[in-house]
Structure 1
């Protein structure tokens, strides 16, 4: 169905570089009064990824890498709109 998905990105400074701390993708869940919930959370500082209705997984997992790559491509295509 798609819809509006706010995204929060936290960057932390490491010397002269900036690094991702986390990226969280939110979605509206519920009817008739939808609430904003974390749907996808890539927590780079802890090395874990969380997905709505699933257990957390290691960011190092190949499936998480594949999903992140697809998510990032989609996110960047929306940024370019």
Structure 2
């Protein structure tokens, strides 16, 4: 039972962090650095202070950025 609870907490934490780089690079001023396509992935790779979370966030940011490609194409570079 304890193992199931631990797994649930870990899954919930990962889901809360999913696509974090994608959200930050699109909404926080100055974090987009002029990237138009896949800004979340580029943010994850560039910002080295969060290396531990990057391992979890990079694949999820890749999925979110791929889903948002039509939005990025019409929006232009994120500043």
The structure richer in strand per residue is 1
Q: Normalised by the size of structure 1, how large is the TM-score?
A: 0.27
Q: Normalised by the size of structure 2, how large is the TM-score?
A: 0.28
- Highest RCO, 1 vs 2 (Cα 8 Å, sep ≥ 6): 2
